[in-house]
Homo-oligomer: A and B are copies of this chain.
Amino acid sequence: MDIATPAGMLIGLVLLIVAVILGAGASGIVAFINIPSIMIVVGGTVAATLVRYPLSRVTGLVSVVMKTIFFKSSTPQAEMKRLIEFAKLARREGLLALENKVGEIKDTFLSKSIQLLVDGTDADGLRTILEKEIDNIRYRHSIGKGVLESMGTVAPAFGMMGTLIGLVLMLRELDDPSKIGVGMATALITTFYGVLLSNLICLPMAGKLEIRSKEETLLKELIMEGVVAIQSGDNPGIVEEKLKGFLSPSQRKEKTLENLKDKIKSVK
């Protein structure tokens, strides 16, 4: 799981709560809980998103966000190691020997790739089918990103609308000065919610979705290249060389370290 995302949200909220408590004691928190304000900002943002996007995309947002942000994807190093093992197996016992592995694999993209390999699909066919699959993944992510960005743009506008509603209602009852302060405070809370929702949640999550999308599609491309190399009958050393290009320098260092540990183990 990507700990930074929920941790960042939590830290941001805790900081704001602590700041409120430092300013007005624990009772100050109560001033920031206002049901109509939440209704306007969260509800209004969702409503505008419904006007803009088909229903299925809005309802699918939660699952896309969950899958791409909170579920731990594999690392390039792990996938590379696994593919090299498959290459060794294929070399030793033929492509069909990989069939037993399909059941063990949890990642549906890899298991589909191996199944296609075992079924005798040629290099071009593999590439066409798997690239199409990667495009679909990228497209699903881009929809989630678009919805989140659109929500991040609309949220402060609904915050402002809520504040305007509060101000208009307050200004009509100026006779009772004791209510002015509370009325205006309540009005401003809606703007606060809108800015918070946009800047701590929607826009940063859209940014993270983009980064995770790049990481995940890079991983899928590594798998595709590995599977195509296995299909071509490359020996495991060449497969490793081909896949190394997908690793960043720091990942390569880890890899070397890992190799060393493996060698030490194998010596023992």
Q: Which residues of A pack against B, CB within 8 Å?
A: 2-5, 7-9, 11-12, 15-16, 18-20, 22-24, 28, 31-32, 35-37, 39-40, 43-44, 46-55, 58, 132, 136, 139, 150, 154, 157-158, 160-162, 164-169, 171-175, 177-178, 180-182, 184-186, 188-189, 191-192, 195-196, 198-201, 203-205, 207-208, 211, 245, 248-249
8 additional A-B residue pairs with CB within 8 Å, beyond A4-B53, A51-B200, A164-B192: A12-B43, A15-B47, A19-B40, A31-B168, A47-B200, A150-B204, A168-B192, A172-B182
Q: Return the 3 tightest CB-CB contacts between A and B, nearest first.
A: A8-B50, A12-B47, A174-B181
Partner of A12, one of B5, B44, B208, B248: B44
Residues of B within 8 A of A178 (CB): 174-175
Residues of B within 8 A of A24 (CB): 169, 172
Q: Shortest CB–CB separation between residue A102 and chain B, in angstroms?
A: 19
| Copies per assembly | 5
Interface pair B47/A8, CB less than 8 Å apart: yes
